[in-house]
Amino acid sequence: MKRLAITLCLMAAALLSSQSYARDVTLTTELKNYGGDGAYLAIYLTNAQGQYQKTLWVAGKKLKYYKHLSGWARGSGQRKSEYDGLSGASVTEGKTLTVTLDLPDTYIDAGFQLHVDTAVEDMRDNRNDVVVPFTSEGVDKPNNGRGYIKTFTYSF
């Protein structure tokens, strides 16, 4: 009986602690009606100096356009391993892209920044359409974009 209680306690502790190591993060990007084709987006993390750390999502299928997401393309070197399993279709104007992923807690409130680069065929590329600090404080606060993004919000 006692051993069972201990086991349960340990399991609960393990569970709790593992919860505190990673979190489900939801990223919501709503686009403006910019009057063009589907947008390519790259959402990624940099450190406080702006150096690339990790890709969170790439929207858009054609590799030949990736170089137009120039901040991300440089940081990630467009290596497949960087975005494997983290890509999807391009996003039509006016539509909202929502992605949810598992992210280690160590990125939160530790000076990291979320960046979104956007590009649309025959229109300008927007490096840093959105740049926001990745903090608990910023949860659910919409951020306006400078380019094709109307608002960008994250929550966890």
Partner 1 sequence: MLRQFHSLSGLIATLFVVLLTISGAVLSLDPLLERSQAKIAGTSSISVAELAGKLITRYPGTEQIQRHPSGSIIVYFTDGDQTGADLINPLTGATIGAYSSSPIMVWIKNLHRSYLLGTPGRVVAGVAAFFMLLLTFSGAVMLINRLGGWRHIFRPIQGPFKQRLHTEVGRVAVLGLILSASTGLYMSAMTFELIPDYSSAEPGFPTHVDGGVPASIDTLSALKVIPITEFRELVYPYPDDPMGVYSITTDQGSGFVDQATGQLLSYQAYGNPQKLYEFIYMLHTGEGLWWLGLLLGLSALAVPLMAWTGIQIWWSRKQSATTINHNSAARLADTIILVGSESNSTWGFAKTLHDALHRLGFQVHTAPMNQLGHHYPQAKRMFMLTATYGDGDAPASANHFLTRLAKMTKTPDVPVAVLGFGDRQFPEFCQFAKEVEAALITKGWPQLLPFETIHRQSPQEFSRWGQAVSSVLDKELTLVHIPAHPASTTLTLVERVDYGTAVQAPTAVLRFKSPEGSHKGLLNRLLRRSGLPHFDAGDLVGILPPGSSVPRFYSLASASKNGVLEICVRHHPDGVCSGFLHGLAIGDTVEAFIKLNPSFRPASGKAPIILIGAGTGIGPLVGFIRNNKAHHPIHLYWGGRSPQSDFLYETELKRYLEDQRLTKLNPVFSRISQGAYVQNKITEDDVELRQLIGEGAQFLICGGRNMASSVAVAVDKVIAPLGGDVATLKAQGRYREDVY
Stretch that binds partner 1, among 4-12, 13-21, 95-103, 126-134 (CB under 8 A): 126-134
How many angstroms separate the CA atoms of 136 and 148, rounded? 25
Q: Return the half-sphere exposure (C-beta side, CA atoms, 13 A cut-off) of residue 39.
A: 30
72: three-class secondary structure by DSSP: helix
51: three-class secondary structure by DSSP: coil
Among 84, 102, 122, 137, binds partner 1 (CB under 8 A): 122
The distance of closest approach from Cβ of residue 60 to partner 1 in the complex, given in angstroms and rounded to an integer, is 14
Among 51, 85, 136, 137, binds partner 1 (CB under 8 A): 51
- Show the site string, 56-75: x = touches partner 1 by CB under 8 A, - = not: -------xx--x--xx-xx-
With 0-12 CB in 10 A as exposed, 13-18 as middle and 19+ as buried, what is 89?
A: exposed
99 part of the interface to partner 1, by CB under 8 A: no
125 part of the interface to partner 1, by CB under 8 A: yes
